[in-house]
Structures are given as C-alpha cells and as structure tokens.
Structure 1
Amino acid sequence: MRIGIITGSGTYALPDFEDARPTEVATEFGPATITEGRFAGADVLHVSRHLAGHARLSHQVTHQANIAALRDRGADAILGVTVCGAVDATVPLGTLMVFDDLHFLANRLPDGSICTLHTEPGRPGRSHWVYEEPFSAPLRGALLLGAREAGLVVRDGGCYGHVDGPRFNTKAEIRMLAACGVTAVSQTAGPETVLAGEAGIPFALLGYATDYANGVQDEATPVAELMRLIGESPVALAATLAAAVPHVQRAQPGPVGTHLGFD
C-alpha cells in the first residue's frame, strides 16, 4: 500500500523519512514534486504544497498536478494536513480536528477555473463524483486513533471551509461561513478533497487550529501567536501522522462515493 501525505504551512518535510527521494513527476496538468520514501513503516509519497521555504503562496499551489502525480505514482490513500483558523469559538487553539464535512461552494481553482480533473469534453473517465460525505471514514478513524495515541487533543468531526488566499477573510465573510456551520478555514484543502475524490483515492483531512478567524473573538489573535502556533504545528501533525499510518495500512480504505460516468 502506498500512502500520499500532503503537508502545508510550517511542515515542508516529514521527520524520520527514510530513503527520501525527491522526484519531479510529469502530469497532464504540469509537473509536481513528489518525495518518495519510508515513513512510519509504510511506502509514502509526500507532497509539500508550498515547497521548501514556502516558495508558493496558497494561490500558487498546483492542486491538479499534485493529485494527478499522487494518482500516477500509485497512491492508495491520501492524508492531508492543514493549519487553519477556527470559526467555531469552542475550538481551543493548538488542537487538532479531523473534518467530516466540506464547504467549498465556489469549486474553483486559484486561477478561477473549475476544480476538476475532467477538463476535456469526451475525455475517457469523465463523470460526476457523487457522495454523501466527502472524506473517507476509515482514514478519519485512522487519524483520530493516531492523534489519541500521540497523546494529543483532537476533535472528531467539523466542517472544513475552503477560502481563497492569499489574504485572510473579513469579519462579514467569516460570519457567513459560521452561519453555514463551518468549523475552521484555510486556503488549500478544498481542491485536494475534490480532486482526490474524482481520482478515486480516499482522502482525509487533519486540521490544527493556529488562530481564531476574523471576528470570532472580541480581540484578534495576535500575529505573533499565530506564528508561534504554526511553528509548533509540525510536531503535533507529524506525531499524529506517524501513529495513524499503521492504522491506514490495516484499514485498506476504498474510494469515497461513486462516479456517474458516461463512457
């Protein structure tokens, strides 16, 4: 079993990643950098969304190429992690969330195009992805077990809200998302969820709360506190992933939902 792991702000490499080999993978959506190796006893394909040194801001992440490269290199499951802003004031900062729902109403990539792998009329495999819940239940279970085994506080469930970057959101925008039941927001995982689903690869998303979104509290989270928690996030995220990977291997998850196709 090969497991894809996608990391974001603050986590640009996996610790204790054995035999790590960065490879540029050519896809129909352009190149993507995949690092292959052994992590927590498993064959792992690692994608750093932003690349080393945070070279790419959120609006420059190549989502289609990243997911296509993981698909083409044989990923059987994908675990995504993200630092995020809490919209729900009951979420303590510095804690983890394993999301079970998605708010990504625009369904667009950073360049404004529709978020899909089905970009050409008549392309074989074109379909509508039909699902009840967007995230893989077995992978969610693995992340929850991993966090608890690592001794970390984790929330079971919550709605992930995808927002466009690179700017942060206004108070009015956050109020709208709160009214929709969004638990926390960040700027990259919406497209990954959709594209992994279209590729038939089970996907789950782990969030780490680094700040309260604009207007959630009377006083804004200081930027220094945001940066401190981003700096601390890699330890919690890596510990959870390392403990979760063996559970993923045992779970053998299948694709989420079905595909209404036309071939």
Structure 2
Amino acid sequence: MTLAIIGGTGLTQIPDLLITGEQSLDTPFGAPSAAYVFGELDGRKLVFLARHGNPHRIPPHKINYRANIWGLQALGVTEIIAVAAVGGIGREMAPAVIAIPDQLIDYSYGREHTYFADDLEQVTHIDFSEPYSPALRARIVAAAEQAGIATVNHGIYGCTQGPRLETPAEIKRMANDGCDLVGMTGMPEAALARELGIAYANVSVVANWAAGVVAGEITMAEIEKNLHQGMNQAIMLLTAVAQA
C-alpha cells in the first residue's frame, strides 16, 4: 500500500522526511496545489502534498481538490492521511489537541465536489456512511497509543467555506448540529478520495477555540502558538504511523 500525507496550514513540509524526488502533474482537472514530494519517513516510503501550496498561498475555497486527489491516485496512492488545522467547538477539543474525527458535516458551497459530473454512462452514488476509513483510523489510533501521544479518537468535523473565520452564531448552529470541530478543507477532499477508492482519514490539530466558545477575539498569534505545539505532536504521530 502506498501512503500519502496531505499537509494543511502549519504543515507545508515534514522536517524528518528524507526527500527522494518531486513530480509535478497535469491532470484532467487542472493543476494540483503543488508538486508531489516523494520521500521516506522512518524508512516508510510515502508521498507528501502541501494542500495550500508551498509556500502557503491557496485559500481553502480555491484549492483544486479534484486535481490533488486525482494526482495521488495516478501516483499509485491507496491511503491518505489528511492533516488539518481546525477550531475547537466541543469541550474536549481544546487548543493544541489532536483529534481523529469519525464523522463530518459539509457546510461548504460552490466547490467542484465530485468526479461524477460530466459524460457519464450512468448516475453514480457513493456510500458515505463512514466518511473516514475505519481501518486507517484504527491504525492511526493504535499508533498514537503505542507512541504515548494523546489524541481524541472521535468527533464530528464541520467543513465551512472560508477563508474568513466563523461568527459565534454560526458556531452555535454548528454545535447544535453536533459538530465538535470546525475546519475549511475537509470537504470535498474526503468524498473525492472515496469516489476513487482511496482510504482516507483525517488528523485534526486544534489551533484555537472557535468563535464564541470562549470570550475574546481569535488572534493569529494564538493560532500560530497552538499550531506549533500541535503540529509537532502531529508529526510525531505520522512518524508512529509510518513505523507501524
């Protein structure tokens, strides 16, 4: 099995990744966010893609998700671990926490969200009852436990449009819907992977409390501090998964 890691905000590269090559691809859906990086993490070969480009320049609603995922399949990828910076809504989802969500709600709009849109011989539907691969999630959870890395092993990820942060009223609505986390890149990425038969799991790093959960303005300084701590743990987790 070939593993890919998609890095989000705070993870445009993996420091311990021994890079062996890079490849840019043209896809039927346009250009991916960046060149695909080939490397070895603790002896495990993998492919890395910076979701927002490298340098970090593509906002969530402008990412070419279809090109990104199609390119990974073309390179023979069968599993994707998607790392994302998120806001915390649920009580367990404090800043710097690492969460492995098991469900999601999509609030995004206007994004190219399927491969099954044009020139079809028949209408195609995918089962999305479990949006994240149970087997891949289980491996991530087991690797975290083995390495002594604390994670919250459940949660509902709510995907908003971005690039602005949400209002307290929007977060209250999401909380009422059951969301524990809020991010901007979880969809259509997860569904596109499912359409192509690629196992997909999300590793969410909580960068801040979502708007209105605690008093005060959300600042970039706060986000950067929490991401630095959380992403260091996430990289340790990715290394543990590679060792498993």
Q: TM-score range by the shorter chain?
A: over 0.9
Indicate the residue corresponding to 1:2 in structure 2.
Answer: 2
Letter in 2 for 1:194: A
Matched, 1:59 2:61: yes
Change in 2 beyond 3 A, CA 1:225/1:187: same
**Which has the larger share of strand?**
1
Within the candidate set 154, 169, 176, 1:157 is matched to 154
Moved more, 181-190 or 218-227: 218-227
CA distance in 2, matches of 1:36, 1:119: 31
Distance, in Å, in 1 between the alignment partners of 2:205 and 2:98 is: 5
Whether contact under 8 Å (2:94, 2:208) holds in the other structure is no
Where 1:25 maps in the other structure, the secondary structure is coil
Partner residue in 1 for 2:167: 170
Cα distance in 2 for residues equivalent to 1:194 and 1:46 = 19
Letter in 1 for 2:141: L
* 1:254 alignment partner in structure 2: none
Write the distance in 1 (CA, Å) between the matches of 2:67 and 2:131: 20
Which residue number in structure 1 is paired with residue 113 of structure 2? 115
Query: Cα RMSD (Å) of the superposition?
Result: 1.8
Q: Does 1:136 align with 2:136?
A: no
C-alpha distance in 2 between matches for 1:153 and 1:114 = 35
**Residue 225 of structure 1 corresponds to which residue in structure 2?**
222
User: CA offsets, 1:83-104, max 9 Å, x none?
Assistant: 1100113322211100000111
Q: Tell me, in whole angstroms, the C-alpha distance in 1 between the residues paired with 2:169 and 2:19.
A: 47
**Quick check: 1:49 aligned with 2:51?**
yes
List structure 1 segments (4+ residues) > 4 angstroms apart after TM superposition: none
**What's the CA shift for 1:67?**
0.2
Q: Report matched runs for 1:62-141 at 5 Å.
A: 62-106=64-108, 108=109, 112-122=110-120, 127-141=124-138
Whether contact under 8 Å (1:10, 1:233) holds in the other structure is no
Residues 22, 219 of structure 1: alpha-carbon distance in 2 compared, 3 angstrom cutoff: same
Give CA deviations for 1:188-219 in whole Å, capped at 9, x if unaligned: 12211110011110100011111011111133
Residue 258 of structure 1: aligned partner: none
- SS of 1:27's partner is coil
Aligned length: 242
Alignment match, 1:251: none
Percent sequence identity is: 27
Pair 41,58 (structure 1): closer, same or farther in 2 beyond 3 Å: same
CA shift at 1:222, angstroms?
4.2
Question: Unaligned regions of 5+ residues in structure 2, if any?
Answer: none
Question: Comparing 70-79 with 232-241, which one deviates more in the overlay?
Answer: 232-241
Given that residues 2 and 42 in structure 1 are in contact (C-alpha distance below 8 angstroms), is that contact kept between their aligned partners in structure 2? Answer: no
C-alpha separation in 1, matches of 2:147 and 2:158: 26
User: Any conservation in 1 of the 2:90–2:179 contact (CA below 8 Å)?
Assistant: yes
- How much does 1:224 deviate? 1.9
SS class of match (2:13)? coil
Q: Distance in 2 between matches of 1:113 and 1:222?
A: 27
Give the distance between the partners of 1:42 and 1:233, measured in 2 at CA. 23
CA distance in 2, matches of 1:75, 1:117: 17
Distance in structure 1 (CA, Å) of the matches to 2:166 and 2:13: 28
Instruction: Write the distance in 2 (CA, Å) between the matches of 1:13 and 1:113.
Output: 26
Contact 2:84 2:202 in 1 (8 A): yes
CA contact (8 A) 1:212 1:220 kept: no
Partner of 2:25, secondary structure, is strand
Equivalent in the alignment of 1:199: 196
